[in-house]
Structure 1
Amino acid sequence: MFDVPPRRLGAFAAAAVASALALTACSAGSLGSSDEGGKTAISLLVDNAEATVKTAEQVVGDFTAKNPDITVKVETRPQGTEGDNIVKTRLSTGDMSDVFIYNSGSLFQALKPEQNLVALDDQSYVGQLDANFKTTVTAGGKVYGAPFGTFMGGAVLYNRKVYERLGLQVPKTWSEFMANNAKIKADGKAAPVIQTYQETWTSQLFILGDFHNVSAADSAFAEKYTKNQAKYATTPAALEGFAHLQEVFDAGYLNKDFASAKYEDGQRMIALGEGAHYPMLTAAVANIAINNPDKVNDVGLFALPGTDAATNGLTVWAPGGAYIPASTSGAKLEAARKLLAFIASPDGCTSQAKASPPTGPFAVKGCELPADVPQSIKDMQPYIDREGGSSLALEFLSPVKGPSLEQICVEVGSGIRKAPDGAALYDRDVEKQAQQLGLPGW
């Protein structure tokens, strides 16, 4: 996973995180194990982040209003590794809640879905799911999850007022981006590119957010990378991300305090126009909306540009999934299927948006963003709608990610290490993790 604090990106997008809640002592089997007054009672397990619980409760309230013959009890679990272990243990013992919310991608694959989950291919809404999302919840050719939450983009947040004042156009290639930076620097009123290296995880966007361009150049890169058949240092498209880190530093385009600036400083600078570009996750927009609500629509978004305007597109992080464990059966299974169908419907999207402002487009066709979402979130939608306009981040396609990427990015982005050396160092960094995972070819 992209290592941001807290570890889960969905939790990170929330404005606040609830204090840890004790997992209920009741087992899933005893929660609603029999009909209550003629109603089918099921349980829903979610992590204890405040935003997650709030969204789950809103969805459950709206769902049961439409399905008065079903009751749903929301359970909570810890986040992080402890929560992962609880999910895996309860699945293996057959003691899982009737429905649970969990990550998509590599963590989903670790649940042994073909053994532990109910396939959803026979559900009508599966055809309406975004293709990128379906990839993250598919195992053995079958789909196992409905999207809970929205996509998040790894992109460039830009100040629209700066662009308007200087007559700049949104760039679709790296050369156009650098030309814009040159004009912004010559104007002297804003830093062309904001970096916030005091919080090292923020340094990774030029690499991780560039993966759409890597995938566009070599659609098999993720597969070859996982098999140790492709490297960052020896794949030109993959090396570009490291080169971009070096180029913006060498050109003098960074804010003067890039080494000491924090994430919150970057949010302020892009909102107020103190900086023109901030490579960042769209989760930052939620914080901008809280801290600078009158400026949030001054911030727009564009995908990290590559070498070819024709293939310009957005790298996205997929939402988590709602899953049904294999232990759910009978009337409970039918009720669980109805709950997932609601979650993956326009009504379900509306329900989620009421509880927590979206940090990106929904993964269900027919779901529309609320009219009042910030402009930068609206800017993501065309990329999602256009065929070939978006690609999953590498972490959803490969379990290989080294622990030292953020430190290496800081070194390259600070002029301490050259791009080719940084890429080669990162290639060595991933080896130990790949070997620990027992991946073939390592």
Structure 2
Amino acid sequence: MLRTRAVALAALCMSVAWAGDGAGLRAADLRIVSSTGHVPLLRRLVDAWAAGREGITAEVRPGPKQISRETEIDLRLSTGGMGDLFTYSAGALFRAIQSRGRLVDLTWLPLQRRVDPAFRAVVSADGRIFGVPLGGASVGGILYNRRLYAELGLTEPESWARFMENNRRIAAAGRIPVMQTYASPWTSQMLVLADYYNVSRSAPDFATDLVARRASFAGTPAALRSFARVEELRRAGFLNADRGELGLEDGLAALADGRAAHYPMHDFGLEVLHDMAPEALETIGFFPVPPDEAGTAGLTLWMPPALYVPKSGNNLMNVLDFLDFVAGPKGCAIVARSVRKIRPLIADCGPHVDVPPALRNLDRYLLDPQRHTFALEFLTPLKGPSLEQICIALGLGVIDAGEAARRYDRDIERRALELGLDGWHPRSGG
């Protein structure tokens, strides 16, 4: 309690005296813990920030391999192992860790006035804002090898049936139709998550009804269909046989060199591929998860990760000065050159440059509000922590789509009970 009050008092004082120009900083380490994929960007930001502040030293440390998983984050927050600043997801996953009350309130920062309101909403709890965006809005769907498509005379599929026909022709040519990489567990859920636009088109009230406990994945045909797509690909033999042993980089390499045709993926994969083999980006295309009805495709969008401040950290003045730098002109310029996203989320930040070919022709979706939606985790506080393991079991054939949906419904129920959502109570026999 004393620690919490001290942090709150320090924040209150700085909200009055904050100048944002680096004056009065203490020479001390700034320790940032980040998922591996964001380390290069953060190091560029830290180097530029520290260069103008004599005597300041800073380090960016990649987190443990499972940094994206909630249990690891929660453990490190409870033991002071998340440094002075860390990156993590916005939306439902953020709400789960903040429910323990371990983050510093950043509502009062002047920079928040320039942050897109849609982003502020997904890093807020109880009317308070806890995060600052790192990067811009992004998209999930199917990455594909354009050169292989041209070689086989294929076109981007407008329906799921056409997608499956493309996969049959790809398999007949001796290539892998669809890559899966379960050694990077989070990648297992991408097809299910990126299918949410199709779910919302068939069941427009699904997000609201899920929170109110009027809907479930197993009981909503459109939501069950997301799991069924994975099962259909597996039963057809379209997934790579070594999917249990390969990770993200393996999947991207196979896609880039034409061994594989498709990889369900968030566009974060393009950033990783840029670091692996930037020339390969010219061969990669993108399309949304194909719908069952031709001509109805749309995008599922993601918010970027956020920078959060743990109450267990030190050097709060340095942390806040760094956040101000990230959201300022110099930080925005570094992000624009480093992160290839569809649009920034901080006002006055210029458009991202060097956007890869895969993301250059999405305006027909982005400019029409009826042809895109945010992923479910940004529309509700509910994302079950076991989804990736459920999807791995589904992709390996351990369970079928119906059982996957039922397991995820139970996972969501546990999360709702943890969050104390109205109307949720243990079901009898559950």
Q: Output the TM-score relative to the length of structure 2.
A: 0.71
Residue 76 and residue 389 in structure 1: after superposition, are their counterparts in 2 closer, same or farther (change >3 A)? Answer: same
Name the structure 1 match of 2:413. 431
What per-residue deviation string (whole Å, max 9, x for no partner) do you get for residues 25-84 of structure 1?
Answer: xx997xx9999x99332786632567756645644665688xx79997757788556765
Q: How many residues align?
A: 394
Task: State the 1:279 CA deviation.
Answer: 0.9
CA distance in 2, matches of 1:176, 1:87: 47
| TM-aligned CA deviation for residue 247 of structure 1 | 1.6
CA distance in 2, matches of 1:382, 1:120: 37
Work out the CA distance in 2 between the residues paired with 1:164 and 1:283: 25
Report SS of the residue matched to 1:206.
Answer: helix
On the 8 A contact 1:158/1:278 being kept in 2, the answer is yes
C-alpha distance after superposition, 1:333-361 (max 9, x if no partner): 9x95x86565345643222355x554665
Q: 1:383-442 deviations in whole A, cap 9, x for unaligned?
A: 556535543333334444445433433443344533223322332344344434433313
Query: 1:71 and 1:300, CA in 2 relative to 1: closer, same or farther beyond 3 A?
Result: farther
Question: Structure 1 residues 185 and 54, CA, compared in 2 at 3 Å: closer, same or farther?
Answer: closer
Shift of 1:313: 0.9
Over 3 Å counting, the alpha-carbon distance change for 1:105 and 1:401 in structure 2 is closer
Matched, 1:117 2:105: yes
Among candidates 353, 363, 381, match of residue 370 of structure 1: 353
Q: Retained in 2: the 8 A contact 1:101–1:322?
A: yes
- Separation (CA, whole Å) in 2 of partners of 1:396 and 1:150: 14
The alpha-carbon deviation at position 233 of structure 1 amounts to 0.8
Alignment of 1:50-61 (within 5 A): 55-56=41-42, 58-59=44-45
2:162 corresponding residue in structure 1: 176
The aligned residue for residue 248 of structure 1 is: 233
How has the CA–CA distance of structure 1 residues 51 and 71 changed in structure 2, closer, same or farther, with 3 Å as cutoff? farther
Q: CA deviation at 1:139?
A: 4.2
Q: Distance in 1 between matches of 2:138 and 2:104?
A: 28
| 2:32 paired with 1:46 | yes
The 1:428/1:381 distance shift into structure 2, 3 A limit, reads: same
CA distance in 2 between partners of 1:439 and 1:344 (Å) = 33
Shift of the 220–317 alpha-carbon distance from structure 1 to 2, 3 Å rule, reads same
Q: In the TM superposition, what are the counterparts of 1:200-349 in structure 2 within 5 Å?
A: 200-258=185-243, 260-307=245-292, 309-310=295-296, 312-321=298-307, 336=320, 343-344=326-327, 347-349=330-332
> CA 1:255–1:344 in 2, change beyond 3 Å: closer, same or farther?
same
Match of 1:129 among 96, 113, 116: 116
CA distance in 2, matches of 1:242, 1:322: 32
Name 2:428's counterpart in structure 1: none
**Cα distance, 1:161 vs structure 2:** 0.4
Determine which of 393, 399, 406 is the counterpart of 2:375: 393
Deviation of residue 86 (structure 1)?
7.1
Q: Helix, strand or coil for the counterpart of 1:267?
A: helix
Deviation at 1:362, TM superposition (A): 3.1
Say if 1:151 and 1:317, in contact at 8 Å, map to a contact too. Answer: yes
Output the CA distance in 1 between the equivalents of 2:174 and 2:387: 32
Inter-partner Cα distance in structure 1 for 2:236 and 2:409: 26
Distance 1:116 1:261, change over 3 A: closer
**Can you list the C-alpha shifts for 1:182-203, whole angstroms capped at 9, x where unaligned?**
33334x1422222234555432
Residue in 1 that maps onto 2:314: none
**Correspondence for 2:171 among 170, 173, 185:** 185
- Asked whether the equivalents of residues 288 and 296 of structure 1 are also in contact (C-alpha less than 8 Å), the reply is yes
Task: Tell me if structure 2 keeps the 8 A contact 1:118–1:324.
Answer: no
- For residues 194 and 34 of structure 1, the distance between their equivalents in structure 2, rounded to whole angstroms, comes to 49
Alpha-carbon RMSD: 4.6
Residue-by-residue CA offset, 1:64-123 (whole Å, 9 max, x unaligned): 88xx79997757788556765776899xxxxx97x886653245445479x952436976
Q: Tell me, what secondary structure is at the counterpart of 1:182?
A: helix
Structure 1 unaligned regions, length at least 5: 1-26, 91-95, 326-331
Q: State how far apart, in whole Å, the 2-side matches of 1:117 and 1:404 are.
A: 28
Per the alignment, in what secondary structure is the counterpart of residue 40 of structure 1? Answer: coil
Aligned residue identity for 1:119 = T
Aligned twin of 1:20: none
Deviation at 1:241, TM superposition (A): 0.8
TM norm structure 1: 0.69
Q: In structure 2, what residue type is equivalent to 1:134?
A: R
- Over 3 Å counting, the alpha-carbon distance change for 1:298 and 1:346 in structure 2 is farther
Give the 3 Å change call, closer, same or farther, for CA 40–322 of structure 1 in structure 2: farther
Partner of 1:419: 401
Other structure's SS at 1:232 match: coil
Letter in 2 for 1:129: D
Question: CA, structure 1 residues 201+418, in 2 after alignment: closer, same or farther (shift >3 Å)?
Answer: same
Q: Judging changes above 3 Å, is the alpha-carbon distance between structure 1 residues 425 and 47 closer, same or farther for their aligned structure 2 residues? A: closer
> What SS does structure 2 have at the residue aligned with 1:295?
helix
Q: Which amino acid aligns with 2:32?
A: V
Partners of 1:38 and 1:349 in 2: CA distance: 17
Distance 1:123 1:383 in 2: 30
Task: State whether residues 196 and 266 of structure 1, in contact with CA within 8 Å, keep that contact through their aligned partners in structure 2.
Answer: yes
Contact 1:150 1:363 in 2 (8 A): yes
Say which SS state the counterpart of residue 369 (structure 2) adopts. Answer: coil
Please state whether the residue corresponding to 1:41 is helix, strand or coil.
coil
Q: 1:258 to 1:39 in 2, by over 3 A?
A: closer
CA–CA distance in structure 2, aligned partners of residues 324 and 415 of structure 1: 40
